[in-house]
């Protein structure tokens, strides 16, 4: 079983069934389902993907399920409000980009891809009513996000109640031994287990992977602008990892690298900065190369230890009279004008090492620095 049931894992339900299936020595059928509601993958997304690949590497029958039907409805898990509906065309476009990034983790020559619209769009009203008879309203209302919405007076649609039934029916259709996913998918996966046994299929076990925190210590999420993306440049990826809290290093090593855990223990017993450099280089090597990791370390030292600037900083030619805020937002160094104002008030935007202190400051030629890691060389036309 190696570390299939332990590394990066939050829980396995029921564990006895999982151990029995794996000890039997026969390939088991495992799947991970994703709704391509977005196309930008970060390290948090990589955790269940890496676990899926681990099952594939040990010779199991592995399925990567695309929620081509369910993505058009939207998973209510962890949502304080209703998701916006998506079109089939948007789902297809997102998955094309999703797949390109997922290939950084998954070897699709070992993994079968399926789409749940192939069976879900065939279900009639009687079929859905039958599925609904296996789950109670009380069970649904126990979910944290529904309870929160009710207290805040926010609506919950019947469709959102039906969502766990639809993704649960995927298990019935695939008749799997195991479903894996992030810890936030636990309720949906247990619903699938209920339906699978209720409708005469074999029992499955559910494996949930850990959720990792972002650069600011909150759950890694695009909403919080705290993500380490799989398609970040080597320098950005290295710098972001160096900025995480020291106490997060162990779970990052566990979930995002292949370093043996006994070696991780020794690494973490040393100097924290050395441990974080090792972590950053391990992750950058996975998504870029060892050469890129070495170069990123050198670049990081140049910028942060020696007070220099990176060799490969982005450049922009802008029109005279543009404001600093407009340029930095347009070039992607800052997500919004409100964030820019906050950074200026905190002295977080500098030109040639001099802080910008006026909201309406005009852009000038020079090197602009945002926070600790973002640089832009500006030429004014």
pLDDT tens per residue, range 38-79: 778 999 999 999 999 999 999 999 999 999 888 877 655 544
Q: What are 148's two structure tokens?
A: 């929160």
**How many CB atoms lie under 10 A from the CB of residue 87?**
10
CATH T-level fold of 315-380 = 3.10.290
pTM for this prediction: 0.81
CA distance 181 to 3: 16
Q: How far is CA 336 from the centre of its chain?
A: 22
Which option is the CATH number for 222-305: 4.10.490.10, 1.10.287.70, 1.10.240.10, 1.10.10.10? Answer: 1.10.240.10
Smallest CA-to-CA distance from 282 within 261, 252, 302 is with: 252
CATH T-level fold of 9-209 = Rossmann fold (3.40.50)
Average pLDDT on 14-29 reads: 96
CA distance 35 to 70: 7
Sketch the domain layout of the chain as residue ranges. Answer: 9-209, 222-305, 315-380
Average pLDDT on 139-146 reads: 78
Checking if the pLDDT of 126 tops 60, the result is yes
Beta bridge partners of 185: none
- Contact (Cβ atoms closer than 8 angstroms) between residue 14 and residue 205: yes
Checking if the pLDDT of 236 tops 60, the result is yes
CA distance 242 to 280: 7
Q: What are 132's two structure tokens?
A: 């609904």
Checking if the pLDDT of 234 tops 50, the result is yes
């Amino acid at each position: 079983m190696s570390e299939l049931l332990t590394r990066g894992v939050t829980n396995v339900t029921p564990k006895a069934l999982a151990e029995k299936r794996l000890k039997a020595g026969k390939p088991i059928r495992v799947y991970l389902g994703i709704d391509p509601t977005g196309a930008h993958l970060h390290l948090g997304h990589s955790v269940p993907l890496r676990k899926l690949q681990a099952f594939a590497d040990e010779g199991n029958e592995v399925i990567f399920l695309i929620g081509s039907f369910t993505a058009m409805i939207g998973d209510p898990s962890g949502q304080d409000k209703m998701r916006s509906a998506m079109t089939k065309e948007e789902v297809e476009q997102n998955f094309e980009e999703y797949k390109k990034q997922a290939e950084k983790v998954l070897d699709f020559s070992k993994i079968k891809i399926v789409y749940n619209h192939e069976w879900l769009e065939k279900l009639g009203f009687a079929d859905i009513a039958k599925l609904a008879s296996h789950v109670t309203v009380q069970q649904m209302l126990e979910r944290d996000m529904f309870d929160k919405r009710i207290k805040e007076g926010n609506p919950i649609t019947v469709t959102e109640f039906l969502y766990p039934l639809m993704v649960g029916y995927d298990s019935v259709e695939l008749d799997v031994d195991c479903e894996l996913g992030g810890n936030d998918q636990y309720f949906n996966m247990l619903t699938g287990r209920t339906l699978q046994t209720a409708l005469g299929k074999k029992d499955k076990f559910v494996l949930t992977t850990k959720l990792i925190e972002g650069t600011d210590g909150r759950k890694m999420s695009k909403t919080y602008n705290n993500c380490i993306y799989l398609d970040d440049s080597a320098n950005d990826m290295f710098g972001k990892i160096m900025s995480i809290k020291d106490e997060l290093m162990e779970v990052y090593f566990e979930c995002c690298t292949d370093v043996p855990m006994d070696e991780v223990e020794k690494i973490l017993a040393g100097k924290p900065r050395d441990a974080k450099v090792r972590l950053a280089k391990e992750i950058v090597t996975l998504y870029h190369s060892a050469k890129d990791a070495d170069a990123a370390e050198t670049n990081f030292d140049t910028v942060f230890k020696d007070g220099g600037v990176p060799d490969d900083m982005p450049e922009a030619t802008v029109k005279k009279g543009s404001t600093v805020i407009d340029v930095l937002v347009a070039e992607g160094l800052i997500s919004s004008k409100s964030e820019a104002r906050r950074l200026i008030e905190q002295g977080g935007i500098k030109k040639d090492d001099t802080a910008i202190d006026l909201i309406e400051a005009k852009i000038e030629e020079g090197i602009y620095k945002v926070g600790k890691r973002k640089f832009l060389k500006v030429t004014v036309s």
